[in-house]
Amino acid sequence: METHVLKIGGSVLRGSHHFQSIIDLTKSYNSLLVIVVSAFYGQTNLMLDLISSKQTPEQVQTKLKGVSNELWQIMNSYHPDFALKYWHKIADRFSILESFKDRLSEKATLSQGEYNFILSFGERLSSLLLSYLFKFNNLECEERLPENIGLIGKKQSGNFVVDYKSTRKNLQATTEFKKITIIPGYYGLDHQKEIVTFGRGGTDYSAAAIAYCIKAKTLDIWKDVSGFMTTDPRLVEEATNVEQLSYQEAAELAYFGAEILHQRTVEPAQLGKIPIRIYDIHQPYQSQYKTIISESKPDSYQVIKSISCSDDFSILQLQGAGIGIEVGLLGKICHLLAKGGINVKSVITAQTSINILLSNEDIDRARTICRRIKGNTIAAIRSIQQISLLAAIGEGITTQPGIASRIFGALAKKQINVSAISFGASRVAIYFIVDRKDKAQALESIHHELFHIRSSNGSPSKSFLERHDFEFHA
């Protein structure tokens, strides 16, 4: 029997609000289901607060009580009998978290593994609670924890990623799936059997990795929003849904700021050629996905699928007359930054300057690190902040003439200055930097230029085709 992997995120797990929809949607599949779940909304932040701020035993006690009260409320508001029947199961597991109470007020004694264990505890609670929700509704279901099925993580450039080879072997050996299997997302075990996490929002990635390891038919991500949009609907009212994306388009959109997917989710799905379908929990029926991500062909009529935007970029600019020709300089800089644990998001170089794009939180430290090599070649180091990075994404963007001119023409019409551009580094992305204050207007004008000619059903209108007479050259 085929297996679908479903991911249910924290935004869907707000109270008991969507419980009925979760039950309806699981019933609508006629296959084995592996459901990978996030913590209830806000609970990971509570865990983070428990382990990262200094607090008295009383404060720890109050916070723990808050978490358990919330879980009780969720169960009771769904159905008082549900709480009566199964609360003791949740309380049992919760007592594991409570056993850390004393150590939480003397933080020094927590090992990294214990820290991650607590951080990922929200997922262990939601998976248990949902497994009983299914049982309460007479659905056959079993909870499996990553530590028991051997979901293995390994370190790669400072972050933890899933070790597919080991995980696949373990899952095949230990896991015989029932009709519904629930697995908490966000964490796994490293080879030393310590708990590791996959970064905030990491349940998407856990679910994709599991889908790959068990060769699932699809990865279905259930959200409380529409799927991918043509741009951020909070900034541009005209934004509409994007029905279909290639793996690379989705990966670049996630990288450049679309918050809908964890950045690495696409990788395992693409490896296994598993389609990712994004559904809206408000319509819990399988046929109506909002976005599908698969190995798709470029769309010759609507090359740009979406424009993403992120404020989490700053530029470290190293200036000097001969910078562009000094052999090994960029390598030296990147090496120093890597040693300091700083991720270089992108680089744009010229003869007289190197522009390194970093996360805002890293810019001051990066500047201090680079001062060490200031000298003959590097005459000045500047940090450029208060910027936004906009990325227009679409298969065919580098092969179809006229796209860049439409984008920058639209910006010029509004007198918006573009301070840096990168085109061609990715087959599907063009990105550029504008002042933060111009962000909304920039998005609006580009979006209008690229999308307003679409008809209401999302396909290009005739006049658009006639006007441009485009032909796609693959």
| 3-class secondary-structure state, position 98 | helix
Does 153 bind ligand ASP (CB under 6 A)? Our answer is: no
382 binds, among ligand ASP, Mg ion, none (CB under 5 to 8 A by kind): none
Are 283 and 234 within 8 A, CB to CB?
no
122 lies in the binding site for Mg ion (CB under 5 A) = no
Q: Which CB atom, from 38 or from 206, has the smaller least distance to Mg ion?
A: 38
State the minimum distance, in angstroms, from the CB of residue 114 to ligand ASP.
18
Which residue in 3, 16, 38, 167 binds Mg ion (CB under 5 A)? 38
Question: Which of Mg ion, ligand ASP, none lies near 202, with the C-beta cut-off 5 to 8 A by kind?
Answer: ligand ASP
Contact flags string 64-103 toward ligand ASP, x per CB under 6 A = ----------------------------------------
With CB under 6 A, what is the number of residues at the site for ligand ASP? 12
Pairing of strands 291-294, 244-246: parallel
Token pair listed for 416: 């918006």
Query: What amino acid is encoded at 392 in this protein?
Result: A
Closer to ligand ASP by Cβ: residue 122 or 146: 122
* Closer residue to Mg ion (CB): 45 or 417: 45
In 394-453 the beta strands, taken as DSSP E runs, fall at 418-426, 429-435
- Minimum distance, C-beta of residue 204 to Mg ion, in the bound complex (Å): 9
Bridge partner list, 421: 432
153 binds, among Mg ion, ligand ASP, none (CB under 5 to 8 A by kind): none
Burial of 109 (0-12, 13-18, 19+ CB in 10 A): exposed
Binding residues among 40-59 for ligand ASP as defined by CB under 6 A:
44
Binding flag, residue 38, ligand ASP (CB under 6 A) = yes
10 binds Mg ion (CB under 5 A): yes
Which one of 38-46, 99-107, 175-183, 212-220 is the stretch in contact with Mg ion (CB under 5 A)? Answer: 38-46
Interaction between residue 10 and ligand ASP (CB under 6 A): yes
Q: With DSSP H G I counted as helix, E B as strand and the rest as coil, what are the percentages for the chain, rounded to 5?
A: 40, 20, 35
Two tokens at 46? 């509570």
Q: Residues 104-143 vs ligand ASP: string with x where CB under 6 A?
A: ------------------x---------------------
Provide the pairing of β-strand 195-197 with 429-435. unpaired
- Number of residues forming the site for Mg ion (CB under 5 A): 2
Q: Write down the number of H helices and E strands in the chain.
A: 17, 20
- One-character DSSP codes across 209-256: HHHHHTT-SEEEEEESS-S-BSS-TTT-TT--B--EEEHHHHHHHHHT
Q: What does 293 interact with, of Mg ion, ligand ASP, none (CB < 5 to 8 A by kind)?
A: none
Nearest-angstrom CA–CA distance, 59 and 38:
25
Here the tokens at position 47 are: 């865990």
Tell me how far, at minimum, the Cβ of 210 lies from Mg ion, in Å: 17
Among 3, 175, 181, 203, binds ligand ASP (CB under 6 A): 203
120 belongs to the binding site for Mg ion (CB under 5 A): no
Q: Which of 131, 212, 136, 203 is nearest to 171 (CA)?
A: 212
Closest CA to 131 of 93, 162, 168, 97: 93
CB of 187 to ligand ASP, least distance (A): 9
Min separation Cβ 447 and ligand ASP, Å: 28
Q: Does the protein bind ligand ASP through residue 201 (CB under 6 A)?
A: yes
Q: Least Å distance between CB 201 and Mg ion?
A: 5
Contacting residue, 202, 227, 298, 394, with ligand ASP by CB under 6 A = 202
State how far the Cα of 316 lies from the Cα of 313, in Å rounded to an integer: 10
Cα–Cα distance, 435 to 273 (Å, whole number): 39
Query: For residues 160 and 432, which CB has a smaller minimum distance to ligand ASP in the complex?
Result: 160
Which stretch in 73-81, 92-100, 197-205, 303-311 sits in contact with ligand ASP by CB under 6 A?
197-205
Of 150, 153, 185, 268, the one binding ligand ASP by CB under 6 A: 185
| Cα distance between residue 217 and residue 238, in whole Å | 34
**Whole-angstrom Cα distance, residue 455 to residue 200?**
37
CA 370 to chain centre: 30
List the one residue from 39, 253, 397, 403 that touches ligand ASP (CB under 6 A): 39
Cα separation, 276 vs 292, in Å, equals 6
Look at residue 275 and give the partner it binds from Mg ion, ligand ASP, none, a contact being a CB closer than 5 to 8 Å depending on partner kind: none
Cα–Cα separations (whole angstroms), residue 250 to 155, 210, 400 = 24, 19, 19
Q: Which amino acid, one-letter code, is at 123?
A: E
Q: How far is the CB of 58 from ligand ASP (least distance, A)?
A: 26
Neighbour-count burial for 30-45, b at 16+ CB within 10 Å, e otherwise: eebbbbbbbbbbebbe
Partner whose binding site includes residue 122, from Mg ion, ligand ASP, none (CB under 5 to 8 Å by kind): ligand ASP
Q: Restricting to residues 265-294, name those near ligand ASP by CB under 6 A.
A: none
Q: Which residues bind ligand ASP (CB under 6 A)?
A: 9-10, 38-39, 44, 122, 185-186, 200-203
Q: Which residues bind Mg ion (CB under 5 A)?
A: 10, 38
